[in-house]
Every structure is written in structure tokens, then in C-alpha cells.
Amino acid sequence: MASATTKRTCAKCDKGAGTAMCYGCEQAFCTKHFIEHRQELSQQMDNIGQEHDVLRRDLTNEQATHPLLARINQWEQESITKIQTAAKSARSDLQQLLNRAKNNLKTSVSEMTEKLQSSRDSDDYTELDIKKWTNQLQEFRKMLDNPTTVNIDFENDTRSVVRLIKVNDKQSIGFFDQTSQLYELKNRLSPNFETSVSEKFIDTFGKIRLLEEGLVATCSNSSSDWSCICGIGQYSAGVNCTRFRIEQLGPNYSVFFGIISCLETMAKDIWNSRSCYGWWELDCSVVGGKRQKSNDRGTIQTGDEVTLMLDCDNRRIQLENHRTNRIVDMSVDLRLCAFPWKMFILLRGKDDCVRILH
């Protein structure tokens, strides 16, 4: 026997007559409200269709842009600006370094021009002079074509996608004042600080014995005949240092550390030439071959280690005694001492001895 059907009321008007069932929302409606319900569903379907059509249009529209593209475009322009600025600065710095090296070289070539002309006019030259000038011309050409002190560095941030560049002089640092700050800065040995570890003695005048492949020079004469030694290095750019140890120095004698121009030929009284710059005992300076009077003695002793620094870029030289931490420096007139420079040492006492430290 069938059970009686329960009559449900309309979800809109709460009337029970003529109800119809919506199996989508599971609600009952009277005839009037059932028709309205279907009309509402039809309107919702139309809205979905419209949204669908808009989505398809936007999906196929190639002109559409993502909001993040604006941020990417901004980053691109800012990065390009930074790169262009870094490149402009690098080009300017490079040109300045090349011009400075060229100007230094012009000074040396001008000095050589005078010597060549003078030798030609007086017909005063030998095979040794021709060989020396040939070597110097080759060295000058190398300096002009390949200024090895110029270097390109990148910023330290290795995480950066684009590491900006800068141009610097890999041997150049500012010349130091006679202060304790100078000593501390020098001892840091930054990447821009070049030490001449390949230096050795090669050219001598007087009674000098070279030992240990040119690392040791010993004087075998008396004080009446001064003896001198030059290094193998030729310097026209950057900051170049050579460290020495005084192996033996008589109590009544002194030692000279300094430079002369490579254009000079080792000869008697070369220490009086106008290209001679340096110091006796740190307290007595020699400028253009002229010795300044001084009463101080004993500032360099047996066992002392000293460093001779040649700052070609700033046209200065410096001498430091590491035992006393005393430093002296002077400027060099390129009209008197033309590039390239070479280190120059004078010994006076028998058995006085100097060693190059590597």
C-alpha cells in the first residue's frame, strides 16, 4: 500500500498549491516562482557565457600585457643606465691612464732624442751605445703598445647577474706621507701594490763582486774609490718596491740608495750626474746629483732591512728603514732623471755588502 505523498511549500511564497521540484537546488516552487527560478538560471547562464567569451578574447589577444612586465621593463632600463654609466666611466679612466703613460714615455723619448742628436753631431758613439739605444727603443715600443699596468676589474658581488667593470692601474697607489699611517698602508700590500720580486743586481762600476746570481753585491775596494751597482729593472709606471738587507756595513761608512735614469751609462762619478736621486743614511739627500749637507750618521746599520719604493706615476721615490720605521721621500724631476728609472746603490767600505730580499 502506497504511502501518502507529503506536500511541500514554495521556497518563495510558502504556498503549497501546485508545487514543482528543482532537482538542482533541491527546492520546491509554486508554478509562478518555478518559472522565475528558471529565468534566473537562464540569466546566470548568459553571464557565464559573456565571461567565457571575454576570457577567450583576452586569451587570444596578443596585445595583452602582464602587470609584472612593467617591473621588468623598469629593471631593464635602470640596469642599462648603470651599465652605460660604468662603461662611460671606464672609458674615461682608461683614456686618462693611457694618456698618463704616453706622457711619461714622451718625456723619456725626448731625453733620448737629445742624447742621440748630440752623439750624432759629435760623432761620439760606439757599438755599446747603439745596442743600449736599440734596447731602449724596443722597451719604449713595448710600453706604448702594451701598457701592462692598466687593468679591468669587476665588482665584488659575484651574485650579481651583471657585474659592473672599472678600469684602474693595477700597480698604482697614492704615494705615502712620512707618517705611521703610511707604514700601515704599505704593509697591507693591496692588489694594486706591486713588489719587484724579480729584481737583481746586474750593472756595476768599481770593485764590486756579484754573488748568488745577482742577489748579493759586495764591495772590495777602499773608501777612496766608491763602487756602485744598478738593478736589472727598468721602471716607467706604477709603484715598484725592492727590499734590501745590509749584510755588512763598516762603522765609518755609509750606503746610498736611490735611482738614476736608464739612459745613463755607468761611469766614474756617475753619482754626480743630474739623474741621480736618493739618500745617504736617510738624512743626507741627493737631488739631481747634488748632495745636501748633513751631520747625522748611523741611521742605517748592519742587519737593517730597507725598502726602496719607486712611484713612477707620481714621480717620487721613497726609502724606509724597517728597524726604525723611518721613511723619507722626495719628488723627481723628469727633466733631470728621465724614464725609465733603475735602482742605484753606492758602497764605500771594503766588504760592505747588500742583499736583495725576495
Q: What digits encode the pLDDT tens for the residues 221-257?
A: 765 567 899 999 889 888 899 999 999 998 888 899 9
- How many angstroms separate the CA atoms of 345 and 12, rounded? 116
User: What pLDDT score does 139 carry?
Assistant: 79
Evaluate if residue 355 carries a pLDDT over 90: yes
d(CA 153, CA 167): 6
Predicted pLDDT of residue 128: 82
The residue among 2 and 242 whose pLDDT is bigger is 242
Contact between 337 and 275 (Cβ < 8 Å): yes
Which of helix, strand or coil describes residue 350?
A: coil
**Nine-digit cell at 200?**
737583481
- Determine the pLDDT at residue 179: 32
Whole-number pLDDT of residue 184: 40
Cell of 110: 725626448
Comparison of pLDDT for 153 and 82, the residue scoring more:
82
Q: Are the C-beta atoms of 285 and 279 separated by less than 8 Å?
A: yes
* Whether pLDDT at 181 is above 60: no
Mean pLDDT of 100-122: 84
pLDDT at 112 over 50: yes
- How many H-runs (helices) and E-runs (strands) does the chain carry? 4, 19
Q: Are strands 341-347 and 255-261 parallel, antiparallel or unpaired?
A: antiparallel
In the prediction, which pLDDT does 107 show?
Answer: 81
Q: What is the pLDDT of residues 256-313, one digit of tens each?
A: 999 999 888 887 788 889 999 999 988 899 999 998 876 555 589 999 999 999 999 8
Q: What DSSP letter does each residue of 313-338 carry, written as one string?
A: TTTEEEEEETTTTEEEEEE--TTTSP
- The proportion of the chain whose per-residue pLDDT surpasses 70, expressed as a percent, equals 80
**For the stretch 6-30, what's the b/e string if a residue is b when 16 or more beta carbons lie within 10 angstroms of its beta carbon?**
eeeebbeeeeeeebbeeeeeebbbb
Give Dmax (Cα) for the chain: 150
Predicted model pTM? 0.52
pLDDT number for residue 295: 59
Instruction: Give the confidence band of 31 by pLDDT, cuts at 50, 70, 90.
Output: confident
Q: How far is 78 from 59, CA to CA, in rounded Å?
A: 31
Q: Above 80 in pLDDT, residue 171?
A: no
Instruction: Provide the residue type at 3 as one letter.
Output: S
Tell me what pLDDT residue 276 has.
95
Highest mean pLDDT among 119-128, 152-161, 310-319: 310-319
Query: Does the pLDDT at position 163 exceed 80?
Result: no
- What's the mean pLDDT when you consider all of the chain? 80
Q: 80-100: per-residue pLDDT in tens?
A: 888 888 888 888 888 887 787
The answer on pLDDT for 102 being more than 60 is yes
Query: In this model, does residue 156 exceed pLDDT 90?
Result: no
CATH number at 181-357: 2.60.120.920
Structure confidence at residue 298 (pLDDT): 58
What are 190-230's pLDDT values in tens digits?
A: 333 444 447 999 988 888 999 998 999 999 876 556 789 99
Structure confidence at residue 196 (pLDDT): 43
